[in-house]
Amino acid sequence: MSNTSATITLQRSRTSSNQLRQFTITLDNRSIGKIKSGQTKQFMVPAGPHLIAVKLDFYKSRPLSILLQPEQELALRCGDRSPENLKEIFSLKGIEKSINSVVKPSQYLYVEQSGERPPPPPERTADAVARPQAAAARKRHSGSIFVSYRREDSREVTGRICDRLNGEFGKETVFRDVDSIPAGVDFREHIGNTIDHCNVLVAIIGNQWLEAKNAKGERRLELAGDPLRVEIETALNKGIPVIPVLVKNSRMPDADELPESLQPLAYRNAIIIPGEPYFHYGVDRLIEELGKSLSPPRAAQPTAPQKFCIHCGAELAPGNRFCIQCGQPAGDAAP
């Protein structure tokens, strides 16, 4: 295996339907092969972010976002949500699956990481999106989210992402320079103070992020005073979690493409946010990861003080009334 490639192992489950039909496997919307019922196939692909899916006639699974590290081996499985055997066909569960294949075609095929299969995701209607957002908006989280982006690279998509984050965590929790800097304040000082108090920095990386240049033709990331570079440097130097978010079909930059001070960014796991119709599913994953950073840490459980037998000095098991070494009553055990 090349040190810049990775391996995907894809296994197709057996069900009562489509046993003689082959699924077409797509990687980044390009066909890379077909897979039969019960078959396992391996593919060597370039390391980096990808979208993998399967399709059959007009059915197409939701693409699974993956980020492959060099020499990584990733196990996936695919299949259809039809009855698994003849007995299930005539059960209520089997009838429900058959009906869902007609009324919910976008859920019929699936690709997922190997492990227990989660239940099918609900259809994303306008009401279904609004309800959890409205409920989440009532929550209050400690800490804040700093969104770093380059305007000419990802202004529109960053705006959409921030709208979702505002609804989930509250507008006062999300810092974005265009909205959050008071008039008349030195933006460098304000950004530095904000990063000092934030819990996580989200670095939005579009397809012009790496090579953006100024009016002199200089690559902006090479300039020590570039605001975006300063934002990410500050977070990395202070040990603040940095989450790269790939948008507009961008890729994760390699370490040797970045200034030395930004090279640690290349080793952070990225979240891919694809375009429509799967944009909201990418943002859902980002919200899930941010929730982990903003959730207050659980209070450490107090531990009982260690006690020893006053007769032989052996350590006493918690709750024992007698020493298991000498058999004497524990009495007032020594701390």
Same structural domain, 249 and 153 = yes
pLDDT of residue 222: 95
Which residue is it, tokens 């033709």? 217
Which residue is it, tokens 């107090």? 302
Residues of the chain whose pLDDT is less than 70? 1-3, 83-105, 115-143, 177-182, 295-306, 308, 313-327, 330-335
Same structural domain, 196 and 107 = no
Judge whether 265 lies within some domain.
Answer: yes
**pLDDT tens-digit profile of 241-250?**
999 999 999 9
pLDDT of residue 100: 54
Domain boundary among 48, 78, 113: 113
Domain containing residue 142: CATH number: 3.40.50.10140
Judge whether 118 lies within some domain.
Answer: no
Same structural domain, 137 and 186 = yes
Same structural domain, 81 and 184 = no
Domain boundary among 48, 81, 113: 113
pLDDT of residue 119: 42
- Measured CA to CA, the distance from residue 191 to residue 189 in angstroms comes to 6
Total structural domains within the chain:
3
pLDDT of residue 3: 64
- Measured CA to CA, the distance from residue 135 to residue 165 in angstroms comes to 13
Alpha helices in 184-295 (DSSP H): 187-197, 227-237, 279-294
Which residue is it, tokens 């599913």? 281
Cβ 63 vs Cβ 278: under 8 Å:
yes
pLDDT of residue 247: 95
Judge whether 29 lies within some domain.
Answer: yes
pLDDT of residue 190: 75
Same structural domain, 310 and 289 = no
Judge whether 278 lies within some domain.
Answer: yes
Same structural domain, 287 and 161 = yes
Judge whether 124 lies within some domain.
Answer: no
Amino acid occupying residue 306: Q
Judge whether 123 lies within some domain.
Answer: no
Same structural domain, 264 and 138 = yes
Same structural domain, 170 and 215 = yes
pLDDT of residue 270: 92
Same structural domain, 148 and 276 = yes
Judge whether 307 lies within some domain.
Answer: yes
Domain boundary among 48, 82, 113: 113
Same structural domain, 204 and 313 = no
The vertex-309 CA angle with 305 and 313, nearest 5°, equals 105
Same structural domain, 55 and 182 = no
Judge whether 125 lies within some domain.
Answer: no
Same structural domain, 33 and 80 = yes
Q: Domain range for residue 229? A: 130-294
Domain containing residue 94: CATH number: 2.60.40.1120
Q: Is 140 helix (H, G, I), strand (E, B) or coil?
A: coil
Cβ 205 vs Cβ 232: under 8 Å:
no
pLDDT of residue 122: 45
